[in-house]
Amino acid sequence: MRLLSHLNETEYPFFIPKSFLQSISLEKFSLNFDPFSSLLEKESIPLNGLKSSVTYSLNEQLPKSFTVKAFHSNIIARASENSPEADAQFIVAPFSNLSSIFQGKQHLGLRTADCLAVVFSFENKEYFAGAISHAGWRGYSSGILQNTIEKLKNETKLHGISASELLTGLKVHIAPAIFGISYECGQEVNEALLKHGNNLFSKYSKQSQFQDLYNKLINLNQDPELSLVINDLLIKNQQSIYIPGKIFPDLQLLAALECFLSGIPHENIEILRENTYSHPALFSFREASHKKTNASHRQWTHLSFPSIPRNLI
């Protein structure tokens, strides 16, 4: 599993709990460019081994993007010009007919603040399949990632791609979100995440050895070192006094674990490990609420399609 960042790790630590470090093999990669630059020519993050990539923008979506009207659901829709109400969208296209399927579009786009955007991309010699999912705690716990993976399985099966081939080749990019150390939640969230975990490990019973890790990721305050960080941040931000029963879930790490449990090789999963709370460029709804600043800003994550060969335009 790959951890990416363009920030200085000393100044902006990854805050990964010990339980995750002991269970999942991690590699760290430093980006040599700012993916959130306001320059007109955006620099994309290539998806390892694929022609597609991930591109970010602030406040405004990139031109020629399919989008959805997200509302914290578990609904996934086919990419469409009319921006359907859904929290994930997907597209499947043969390389021989990309221009017809893409309809002049170049990206799948998703608008977030503290919530996750999770990008999925698959390519073989004949087909491209991609999706992007919006996963706050409500969408995540109601199964938006499972629905996205199952939809990609079903749609690619129609084109002769087996579930095994899809999962083996599927690349996942998890966009910046609020880290668990900054994300104080109550019992409603705890119960929803525990229920989702029970559903996951019922479905993937052979992966039961990871259930304890899942439960620890629901509350980073269980990690002795991160507990000290959490308490320091609570005091520093004057946002609250820690109350027993509060949890600090890390949605990025939960999503990465879920993708791995679903059969996606860990080396195919990457996390842009940057915390929207206290980020120098990104927006955090929770931080804005605490600090009484503008809460209307957002960032956009895009799955940028493989380019269309000129002879097919």
**Is the per-residue pLDDT at 308 higher than 60?**
no
CATH of residue 215? 3.60.140.10
Identify the residue with better confidence: 300 or 244.
300
Question: CA nearest 183: which of 134, 137, 236?
Answer: 137
Answer yes or no: are the C-beta atoms of 168 and 265 closer than 8 Å.
yes
SS3 170: coil
Range of the structural domain that residue 129 is part of: 2-306
CA distance 245 to 136: 20
Highest mean pLDDT (candidates 150-159, 232-241, 244-253):
150-159
Model confidence at 261, pLDDT cuts 50, 70, 90, reads very high
Q: Is residue 313 part of a domain?
A: no
The values of phi and psi at residue 158, to 5°, are -60, -20
Q: What 3-state class would DSSP assign to 283?
A: coil
User: In percent, how much of the chain has pLDDT > 70?
Assistant: 91
Q: Is the pLDDT of residue 238 over 60?
A: no
- pLDDT at 285 (0 to 100): 74
Please report which confidence band the pLDDT of residue 119 belongs to, taking 50, 70 and 90 as the band edges. Answer: very high
pLDDT tens, 192-233?
Answer: 999 999 999 999 999 999 999 999 999 999 999 999 999 888
Per-residue pLDDT at 286: 73
Q: In the prediction, which pLDDT does 244 show?
A: 73
Burial (Cβ within 10 Å: 0-12, 13-18, ≥19) of residue 313: exposed
Domain count, the chain: 1
Average pLDDT over residues 263-279: 96
DSSP state letters, 109-159: EEEESSSEEEEEEEE-SSEEEEEEEEE-HHHHHTTHHHHHHHHHHHHHHTT
Q: Show the CA angle centred on residue 47, arms to residues 116 and 279, nearest 5°.
A: 40
Mark 101-130 as b/e (b = at least 16 C-beta within 10 Å): ebeebbbbbbbbbbbbbbbbbbbeeebbbb
Q: Is residue 311 part of a domain?
A: no
294 pLDDT more than 70: no
Q: What is the DSSP code string of 207-263?
A: GGGGHHHHHHHH-GGGSHHHHHHHHHHHHHHT-----TT-B---HHHHHHHHHHHTT
Is the overall model pTM greater than 0.85, yes or no?
yes
104: left (phi over 0), alpha (psi -120 to 50) or beta: left
Burial of 297 (0-12, 13-18, 19+ CB in 10 A): middle
Confidence band for 65, pLDDT divided at 50, 70 and 90: very high
How confident is the model at residue 311, as a pLDDT? Answer: 38
DSSP 179: -
d(CA 303, CA 134): 13
| pLDDT, averaged across the chain | 91
Residue 144 domain flag:
yes
pLDDT of residue 192: 98
Confidence band for 234, pLDDT divided at 50, 70 and 90:
confident
Report, as an integer, the average pLDDT of 90-95: 96
Above pLDDT 90, what percent of the chain?
80
Q: Would you say residue 268 lies in a domain? A: yes
pLDDT of residue 298: 80
Is residue 185 a contact partner of residue 162, using CB atoms and an 8 Å limit? Answer: no
pLDDT at 309: 46
Do the domain assignments include residue 312?
no
Q: For residue range 67-78, what is the model confidence (pLDDT) as tens digits?
A: 999 999 999 999
Average pLDDT over residues 49-70: 94
**pLDDT (0 to 100) of residue 241:** 57
